[in-house]
Every structure is written in C-alpha cells, then in structure tokens.
Chain A
Amino acid sequence: MSQRLFVKGNEAVAMAAIEAGCRYYFGYPITPQSDIPEYLSRELPKLNGEFIQAESEVGAINMLLGASATGVRAMTSSSSPGISLKQEGISYMAGSELPGVIVNISRSGPGLGGIDASQADYWQSVKGGGHGGYHIVVLAPASVQEMYDLTMLAFDLADIYRTPVMVLADSVVGQMKEALVPNPRPVTILPEKAWRVRGRREGTEQMIVKSLFLGDGELEAHNWKLHGKYDVMKENECRQELFMADDAQLVIAAFGSVARIAKTAILMARDAGMKVGLLRPITLFPFPTKAFQEVTLRCKKILDIELNNGQMVDDVRLSVARDAEVYFYGRPPGAGSLPVPEELFEQIKKHY
C-alpha cells in the first residue's frame, strides 16, 4: 500500500493536476475553492509552470483557451458565480474542440446566494451552460480520493475527446479532509495533438483553432461532428457506483456529497431490515442511463435526492424503465439546508 495522506478535497484536486502533468493554471479567488489556486501558486513555479491570478473569471477561462490551443495541459477552477462568467469561454472551447479542465466547487445561488454546499449547478453543468447546444464531460467526485482520481481522469478525457471537462463538487467534498492515496498518473494512450498551434514552419500546414464556420453547411457538419462525439462518450464513458443495490427494493439516486450522506441513511435502513441501495452517477454527462435502465428492470422504486429543487431527477426519469416510479426529495442549498442521514432515513421510510 502506498503512502496515505490526510488532505482536503480541494488540495487533492491540485495534487492530481500536477501529477497529471498540468503546469498551467489560471484562476480568480472565490470561496470555497481558493485552496486550489493557493496550492498551485506555491507549487507550479517550482515545476517551471505558470500560475496567473487573472483579472476575472472571464480572463482566466480565456487564458486556459489560449494555453490549451498550444497543446499543453491546463486548468482553471472556480465556484458557481465565477463559473457563470466562464460559460462564454467554455462554449468557445467546446466549439473550438479544445481540451481543458474546469473545476467547480459549487456554492448556493442564484445570484450571490451563499457559500454553502450546493448541487444547484447540475443543469448548468450538464446541459451546456453557455450558448450553442454543446456538452462537456462532467465528473462528480464524492470523496477526497475521487477528487484526486477524477481530476486525473478529467485531463485524459479532455485530451481524448478534445473537450472541456468539468469536475463538479461542493464545499463538503472540497473542504473535507480524508485519507488519500496519491496514485501515480495512469498510463493512457492519448491521441497526438496534431491540431495545436505551434508556428507555421516550412512544410507544415497552417493551424487554426476556431469556432467560426460561415461556409454553407460547414457549421451544421461541425455540430454533427460534436454530437457524434457526445454519442461515443455516452457509449463508452458512463461511470457510476452501485452500493447494496443487488437486492434493493428501493434505490436512491444521488451524486457527490449527497450520495455520501445517503450511504449512511441506507445503512440505517438496512439495520432496520429494509432493502435499500444506491446508484450514484459519477459521470453526470454522459449520464449513466443504462445503469438506471438495468436497475429498474428489477427494482421499481427510485428515490432521487439532491441538494437543490430537483435537477438530476429529470435525467433519472428519462432513464428508468417505463414502469418504475421516481420519487424526489431535495432541499434548495443554503446555510443549514444540508440534509443529515437521519433526515434521509425518514424519506426512505416514507417511500419504501
């Protein structure tokens, strides 16, 4: 067993970025994710990397766009209001097929809202937060170890699919400390970045990174290409965790921090003799539709729980078998609204 560290989720993100070979970070301070830029501002210079505290989130995402266009691994991080500002750049990156990792340690809204844990950015993240009808890959870690492992995976998926990838968590996972095994970067076969700008040397063709397509039929073809990639992702990249779901009469659907809270509620239910399980989407886009189809072939009750007024539940309803019932329990995020296991156990009893 390699060394076990005891670190914050946010620090695990920064450590994973470095291990993944990311040497360029651009960001703007916002609670509750500032541990990430603080860590990287200290460590990147030692590795001959670049850390820029940008003038705004808009500046930061566009620096990411520029760095990524040259073929390097780069990232930015922020929290919900800042992620709203980045949406313009994310749309351009999606349109220009640029890889890049964006971390959202989300907080409650709308507007300035509050700094408490929140899952209210689900729609914004998975449905294409900017203009133009695109998707980005969205990964939802539920532990410090996953903050590390999924950040590393985010860089690989970004390179493989030439797409922005978001790591979506909240302050529970970001501020929480747990044991971390800092695994080395996995060996992955990555495509060559032949599309990158590098300076047009003799005998090489001109490289253009752009999202503008004005010729007759060009943009339509480009969009078909993008959506073809999304179909491949749906086929190959869905990830989920099943917990005690085999014999379950009621399966809870939850992601990130809420899935953690639900696990303890499930154990309470099991102690009370109730067969309850969990299906936790790890990829929010692509959404693990097949896993929901399979589970609901047998178990006909799904209880979707979120720290918002009901967002992922839309995707759950679209994914389950036709005769399955989907219940929802959620609370809008804010100070004091984080559910506790005892509360979720009550919901289980209500719907079991």
Chain B
Amino acid sequence: MPQVFKRPVSLKDVPTHFCPGCQHGTIHRLVAEAMDEFGVRERTIGVASVGCSVFLYGYFDVDVVEAPHGRAPAVATGVKRARPDSFVFTYQGDGDLAAIGTAEIIHAANRGEDITVIFVNNTTYGMTGGQMAPTTMVGQKTSTSPYGRDRAKDGSPIRMAELLAQLGGVAFSARVAVNTPKNLMDAKKQIMNAFRYQVEGKGFSFIEALSTCPTAWGVTPIQANERIGGELIEYFPLGVYKDTAQWKPRIAPPAPVEQPGARAFPEFMNEI
C-alpha cells in the first residue's frame, strides 16, 4: 500500500513540549514539509528565538544558532552573510519579533537579507505566563493587562505582515492561519512561496502565522481555534501583502552602486 502521510525528515521523531491545542506544532510541521520539498535541510541553519519557540533545535533536525530575545534577524544576517550558500530561517514569536526585536526585524527586512522569517502571532507571551504582547487584542485580558488591553494606554495590536510589506527589501509577506483545513493548505502554499524566494536568492520573505494559546487565553483548544476564525482573522486578515513576482514597482529601480565585490541585489530592491 502506498504511504500517503509520514513525518517530514526535517522534523525529529520526538513529542513536543507544546500545550494541548497549541498550533506551534502544526506550524513546525508545515515549515519542515516545505524544507523537505525544497530539499534544503542539509544546508539549513535555523535561528531560534526566545519564548516557546526556543527549543527549535529539539524538533527540527537542522543546525541551529540560538539568538538573544528579539535579535534573531540580526543573528540570521550574520549567518547568511558569512555563509551565503546556506538556507537560513528564523522562527519568532510576537513578543520577540514585534516588541523587543522591532529594530532588528525592520532593518533585516529593509536590507533585503536573503532569509525567511516565520513569525508566530498568538497575541500573548506564552512561555512567560500570558502577559500582554504587542499583538494582544484591545480588551484582551492578560496577566499584565488584567482590565483588558486599553488602546489609550497600550496602543493597538501591531500588524507586522502589512508593516513589513512597505519596506523596499521585502520580497514576500503574507499572513496565514492553520485553524481550518483550507487555511492550513493555504498556509503551506504561502510558506512554500516564502521559501522559494530564498531558494532562488531573491530576498527577504516573511510569514506571519496566527496561532492559538489556549493556556494563556484560558480557554479550551476548540474555543481557541474559534477565536482565530473570528476575532483574530477579522483584525489580522489573512492574505499576501507583497509578492514581488506579481508586482510592478511604481518607480524605476535605481542603478546599482558600483563597488568591489558587490552583492547582486534582486531587481525589486527599490521603494514601493
């Protein structure tokens, strides 16, 4: 009988530490499948961040460098520049990427570093016990917003996929979810698209994946999944925010700077 389903070889044969109903495991799997399909596992260097995603090396069967909180895009920059033949991805949560690491993600993206960033947005700091994140919804109660996030005091949740799409160095930016089979299939497709940009050496690609955190949200896994399909997707719409293969620049790209040993920047490296 033909085998129709198996563990991706890029994923280790171990149970994860993730809570019941958490979607990190699903997202890990999709990333590993994409790695298998592009055949890049043997030249992949993952950059782990701080938070629930810190055990990247425990689940992915690839070489891994651990970065300080928020700094994964800078670490990945160093890795990729030193080893341009490697496939480099970061896997970061919302506190890591959208709060403490905002400078690093924006500038790595703006430089058009040839890396892929997987950004898991579950609207909370899961590992530290459910504190308010930059993506926490207005009104959402967390352990540090016991009355609910107050827009007047705490600002609004940050939409990273849209924000990064504005930057000249970003080749691909999309938001996905894995709450339904249809969304999951689409998430896989977009992760493949993001990987393709790096495999072809065409610049920075970004995936924002909405994810559940039933433990911190204080709900059942099913309720958590429903929240994704309702409140979260309404505020964080799914879709592709930039895909330079389908995109025509408004102004002509400037001529490349003449210098010794120049890096070949993809043509899209210009302002929107």
With A63-B75, A199-B62, A199-B63 known as contacts, the answer to whether A50 contacts B82 (CB < 8 A) is: yes
- State the CA gap A58–B102 with chains docked (Å): 12
Return B66 CB to nearest CB of chain A, in Å: 4
- State the CA gap A60–B71 with chains docked (Å): 10
Is there contact, CB below 8 Å, between B103 and A66?
no
With A55-B107, A70-B82, A199-B45 known as contacts, the answer to whether A65 contacts B65 (CB < 8 A) is: yes
The interface residues of chain A lying within 8 Å CB-to-CB of B57 are 206, 208, 210
Complex A-B, nearest 8 residue pairs according to Cβ-Cβ distance, in ascending order: A66-B78, A62-B74, A55-B107, A67-B78, A66-B75, A63-B78, A210-B66, A197-B63
- State the CA gap A202–B71 with chains docked (Å): 30
Is there contact, CB below 8 Å, between B75 and A45?
no
The interface residues of chain B lying within 8 Å CB-to-CB of A49 are 261
Q: Does B76 lie at the interface of the complex (its beta carbon under 8 Å from any beta carbon of A)?
A: yes
Instruction: Name the contact of A58 in the complex, choosing from B45, B74, B81, B86 (C-beta under 8 A).
Output: B74
Q: Does B132 lie at the interface of the complex (its beta carbon under 8 Å from any beta carbon of A)?
A: no
Is there contact, CB below 8 Å, between A70 and B64?
no
Fill in one digit per residue for B66-79: 1 if any A CB lies within 8 Å of its CB, else 0: 11100100111111
Return A34 CB to nearest CB of chain B, in Å: 19
Is there contact, CB below 8 Å, between A197 and B61?
no
Q: Does B189 lie at the interface of the complex (its beta carbon under 8 Å from any beta carbon of A)?
A: no
Q: Does A272 lie at the interface of the complex (its beta carbon under 8 Å from any beta carbon of B)?
A: no
Is there contact, CB below 8 Å, between B71 and A199?
no
Is there contact, CB below 8 Å, between A209 and B43?
no
The interface residues of chain B lying within 8 Å CB-to-CB of A209 are 64-66
Return A92 CB to nearest CB of chain B, in Å: 5
Is there contact, CB below 8 Å, between A45 and B261?
yes
23 A–B contacts from the bound complex (CB under 8 Å): A24-B81, A45-B259, A49-B261, A50-B82, A55-B74, A55-B104, A59-B107, A62-B67, A62-B74, A62-B78, A66-B67, A66-B78, A67-B81, A69-B65, A70-B83, A88-B68, A89-B71, A92-B66, A197-B63, A197-B64, A200-B61, A207-B63, A210-B64
Is there contact, CB below 8 Å, between B79 and A197?
yes
| Nearest opposing residue in chain B for A24, CB measure | B82
The interface residues of chain B lying within 8 Å CB-to-CB of A62 are 67-68, 71, 74-75, 78, 104
- State the CA gap A347–B43 with chains docked (Å): 62
With A49-B261, A52-B77, A58-B74 known as contacts, the answer to whether A199 contacts B104 (CB < 8 A) is: no
Task: A65-B78, A66-B76 are known; give 8 further A-B pairs, CB within 8 A.
Answer: A45-B260, A59-B74, A62-B74, A63-B78, A69-B75, A88-B68, A89-B71, A92-B66
The interface residues of chain B lying within 8 Å CB-to-CB of A211 are 66
Instruction: Name the contact of B103 in the complex, choosing from A45, A59, A198, A207 (C-beta under 8 A).
Output: A59
Residues of A within 8 A of B (CB): 24, 26, 45-50, 52, 54-56, 58-60, 62-72, 74, 88-89, 92, 96, 197-202, 206-212
Is there contact, CB below 8 Å, between B81 and A206?
no
The interface residues of chain A lying within 8 Å CB-to-CB of B107 are 54-55, 59
Return A294 CB to nearest CB of chain B, in Å: 42
| Nearest opposing residue in chain B for A100, CB measure | B78
B83-104 residues with Cβ-Cβ distance < 8 A to A are 83, 86-87, 103-104
Is there contact, CB below 8 Å, between B78 and A58?
no
The interface residues of chain A lying within 8 Å CB-to-CB of B80 are 66
- State the CA gap A105–B43 with chains docked (Å): 38
| Nearest opposing residue in chain A for B54, CB measure | A212
- State the CA gap A70–B260 with chains docked (Å): 24
The interface residues of chain A lying within 8 Å CB-to-CB of B260 are 45-46
The interface residues of chain B lying within 8 Å CB-to-CB of A96 are 66
- State the CA gap A206–B129 with chains docked (Å): 30
- State the CA gap A140–B57 with chains docked (Å): 38
- State the CA gap A88–B75 with chains docked (Å): 13
The interface residues of chain B lying within 8 Å CB-to-CB of A72 are 82
Q: Does B175 lie at the interface of the complex (its beta carbon under 8 Å from any beta carbon of A)?
A: no
Return A183 CB to nearest CB of chain B, in Å: 25
Return A310 CB to nearest CB of chain B, in Å: 33
Is there contact, CB below 8 Å, between B67 and A74?
no
- State the CA gap A60–B104 with chains docked (Å): 10
Is there contact, CB below 8 Å, between B45 and A65?
no
The interface residues of chain B lying within 8 Å CB-to-CB of A54 are 74, 107
The interface residues of chain B lying within 8 Å CB-to-CB of A202 are 42
- State the CA gap A92–B80 with chains docked (Å): 19
With A55-B103, A58-B104 known as contacts, the answer to whether A66 contacts B64 (CB < 8 A) is: no
Return B245 CB to nearest CB of chain A, in Å: 26
The interface residues of chain B lying within 8 Å CB-to-CB of A199 are 42-45, 62-63, 86-87
The interface residues of chain B lying within 8 Å CB-to-CB of A197 are 45, 63-65, 79
- State the CA gap A207–B74 with chains docked (Å): 20
- State the CA gap A52–B42 with chains docked (Å): 27
- State the CA gap A201–B42 with chains docked (Å): 5
Is there contact, CB below 8 Å, between A198 and B261?
no
- State the CA gap A208–B63 with chains docked (Å): 6
Is there contact, CB below 8 Å, between B77 and A63?
yes
Give the residue among B54, B77, B259 with the most A Cβ atoms within 10 A.
B77
